[in-house]
C-alpha cells in the first residue's frame, strides 16, 4: 500500500511540475525591467551600446539584430531594434520600420502591434485600447499611445490619411494604466 501511495504522490508532483512549466512557457517571457544579460538570452548579443546621461539619469541603449523582426514584418525594412536600460533594467523597446507595400510608409495598426508584441513577449497581447492621441504643433501628426495590456503600452507618431507611423519608430514601455484587470 505504501508503494502505491508513494507512486501516486510522485505522479501528482510530476504532473504539477509539468503543469507549472507549461503555464510559464505559455505566459511568455519577461522583457521589461530585466537585466542586459536576460535580454541577451532572448535576442542574442547586442550589436552596439550607447550611454547617455541627462539630468542625472544614465540611459544605456543596446541595439540587437533585427533578423527575428524581419520574419515578423517580411515586407518592411527594419532599421533599428533597440532596448534602453536605466539602472541596468530594461525600460523601453524601440523599433524602426520603413518601406513595404504601402508607398506612404508603414501603417502601424492593431495587427502590426499584436505581431510585434507577440515577437517580443512570446504571447498575444490581451487588449488594444487607445490611451491618448495628442496633436503636434502642425496638427497633422499625432502622438498616439495604446495599451496592449499586462503593463505594456505602445507609443508612436502617426500622420496622413492611413495613420502611418511618422518617423517610422514606435516603442513599447511599461505603463501602470495597462496593468490587469483590463477594465478599459
Whether the Cβ atoms of residue 96 and residue 61 lie closer than 8 Å to each other: no
Which cell goes with 41? Answer: 538570452
Judged against a pLDDT cut of 80, whether residue 78 lies above it is answered with yes
When computed from its CA atoms, the radius of gyration of the chain, rounded to whole angstroms, is 20
Say if residue 153 is preceded by a cis peptide, omega within 30 of 0.
Answer: no
| Domain extent listing, the chain | 1-29, 31-178
Judged against a pLDDT cut of 60, whether residue 70 lies above it is answered with yes
Please tell me the number of Cα atoms within 13 Å of 160 on its side-chain side: 13
Cα dist from 142 to 58, 132, 137, 138, whole Å: 28, 9, 9, 9
pTM given for the model: 0.77
Residue pointed to by grid coordinates 499611445: 145
User: How do residues 8-25 score in pLDDT, each as one tens digit?
Assistant: 434 443 443 333 333 333
State mean pLDDT over 152-170.
Answer: 74
User: How do residues 109-124 score in pLDDT, each as one tens digit?
Assistant: 888 899 999 999 999 9
**What residues form DSSP beta bridges with 61?**
50, 84
Least confident of 33-42, 127-136, 162-171: 162-171
Amino acid at each position: 500500500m505504501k508503494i502505491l501511495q508513494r507512486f501516486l504522490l510522485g505522479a501528482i508532483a510530476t504532473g504539477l511540475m509539468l503543469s507549472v512549466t507549461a503555464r510559464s512557457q505559455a505566459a511568455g517571457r519577461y522583457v521589461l525591467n530585466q537585466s542586459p544579460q536576460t535580454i541577451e538570452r532572448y535576442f542574442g548579443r547586442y550589436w552596439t551600446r550607447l550611454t547617455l546621461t541627462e539630468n542625472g539619469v544614465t540611459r544605456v541603449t543596446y541595439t540587437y539584430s533585427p533578423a527575428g523582426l524581419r520574419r515578423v514584418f517580411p515586407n518592411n525594412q527594419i532599421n533599428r531594434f533597440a532596448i534602453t536600460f536605466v539602472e541596468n533594467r530594461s525600460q523601453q523597446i524601440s523599433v524602426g520600420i520603413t518601406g513595404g507595400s504601402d508607398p506612404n510608409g508603414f501603417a502601424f495598426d492593431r495587427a502590426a502591434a499584436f505581431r510585434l508584441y507577440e515577437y517580443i513577449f512570446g504571447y498575444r497581447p490581451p487588449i488594444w485600447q487607445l490611451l491618448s492621441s495628442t496633436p503636434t504643433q502642425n496638427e497633422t501628426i499625432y502622438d498616439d499611445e495604446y495599451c496592449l495590456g499586462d503593463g505594456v503600452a505602445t507609443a508612436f507618431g502617426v500622420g496622413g490619411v492611413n495613420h502611418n507611423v511618422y518617423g517610422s519608430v514606435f516603442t513599447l514601455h511599461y505603463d501602470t494604466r495597462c496593468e490587469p484587470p483590463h477594465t478599459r
